[in-house]
Amino acid sequence: MTAARQKITAEARRARLGPRHLLTPGTRAKTPEAVADALVALHATDPATVHLSVAARMRTASVAELERALYEDHSLVRMLCMRRTMFVLPTALAPVADAAAARAVAVRERKNLAKVIEEQLGFDGKWFAATQEAVLTALAARGEATAAQVADDVPDLKRQIVMAEGKPYEARPRITSRFLGVLAAEGRIRRGRPLGSWASSQFRWTVAEPHPDLPVDEARTELVARYLDAFGPATTEDVKWWTGWTRTETRKALAGTDAVAVDLDEGPGHALPDQLDAPPAPEPWAALLPALDPTPMGWRHRDWYLDTDHKAELFDKTGNIGPSVWWNGRIVGGWAQRPDGETVTQVFTDVGAAARRAVDAEAARMAEFFGDVRIRPSFRTPLERRLSAQG
């Protein structure tokens, strides 16, 4: 007779969320490395997201500390990996993410670009290989360089291709960015300090140290174990969505972990053994998390922390979440930065005076972190658009 699976309630998941994701005041981190380690990887599609995700979870938010980790100590690395998404993750975990997800992404990126270059420009694989070596040589000579400087050294990168030909949004970009993106996906080069403020998306480039070569299956099992430690319990669909793997790959990786089967409100799930006991009630906590923050982007199923009535306000048309306001494990509203720098919030329901004070305090803390820097998410959501335009 099969033993009944343990039920883990949404309330228990919410109680575990704040401390595990370093969002309660007493669990905030001292370093950016501790934040990235707790969350496995920080979404980095928007450069500002990395800084704001770290700031929300540090005792003393510091741009300098994150820049130290990224550009001086290299204890954090920015790479294209799960779901063909840009992440910042601990350098020690980079070989795992590379084998588990980034290699397959890099193969597709190179194949797709090589096809476009051959069809539109007539350049074959020998040209691709020679141009790659020329880029690496140029970067080694310069130490670091912008994309424009690399293109000056390797003029073929200034060639243009046609994107979405005949469409209203047809574009004719240079191949520079896509070519450098392929080399970055393969771990040959990496992004250095940005031009301008910490919110800038214009990076300098430098040659990267290659990742150690790990077996794919072992790497996937380790990555899933890390994911469950940060985001478990979770469903198979959650893991499949977060990793970008097939269902077969996801199930094989899960089978290699110590996870046990449990019941969640969404159906069957997986939890590590230390997640079976009911967590203690955490201290009350509020947080202002940025667009694409790893916490709300950690699961495919989100009903346990977000009322379905509010999804349309917080998500764009492709499922990317905007800035969100949290109270005790649930999303209760959203926020935005206005052009004059004011950080404004809106809660959807009456959360009480204590919650409102905590949210206001977090808004003030984030406004102090922004200083003179202004941001606008790449993926605009209805509530963020409305809030940022008011005033």
In a domain, 374, yes or no: no
Name residue, tokens 């099969």: 2
The per-residue pLDDT for 246 is 96
Averaged pLDDT, 171-196: 93
The per-residue pLDDT for 268 is 96
In a domain, 25, yes or no: no
What span, in angstroms and rounded, lies between the C-alpha atoms of 381 and 360? 21
The per-residue pLDDT for 89 is 97
Structural domains in the chain (count): 1
Give the model confidence (pLDDT) of 7-65 as tens digits. Answer: 999 999 999 999 999 999 999 999 999 999 999 999 999 999 999 999 999 999 889 99
The per-residue pLDDT for 3 is 62
- pLDDT band of residue 164 (cuts 50, 70, 90) is confident
What span, in angstroms and rounded, lies between the C-alpha atoms of 109 and 186? 9
In a domain, 113, yes or no: yes
In a domain, 330, yes or no: no
pLDDT above 60: residue 391: no
Lowest mean pLDDT among 148-152, 190-194, 375-379, 382-386: 375-379
Domain assignment of residue 109, given as a range: 93-207
- pLDDT band of residue 2 (cuts 50, 70, 90) is low
Give the model confidence (pLDDT) of 333-384 as tens digits. Answer: 999 999 999 999 999 999 999 999 999 999 999 999 999 999 988 889 999 9
Its pTM stands at 0.93
The sign one gets for the Cα dihedral 12, 4, 308, 389 is positive
In a domain, 254, yes or no: no
More confident residue, 3 or 290: 290
CB of 238 within 8 A of CB of 299? yes
pLDDT above 90: residue 137: yes
In a domain, 118, yes or no: yes
Closest CA to 361 of 294, 285, 308, 282: 285
Q: Is the peptide bond before 233 cis (omega within 30 degrees of 0)?
A: yes
- pLDDT band of residue 1 (cuts 50, 70, 90) is very low
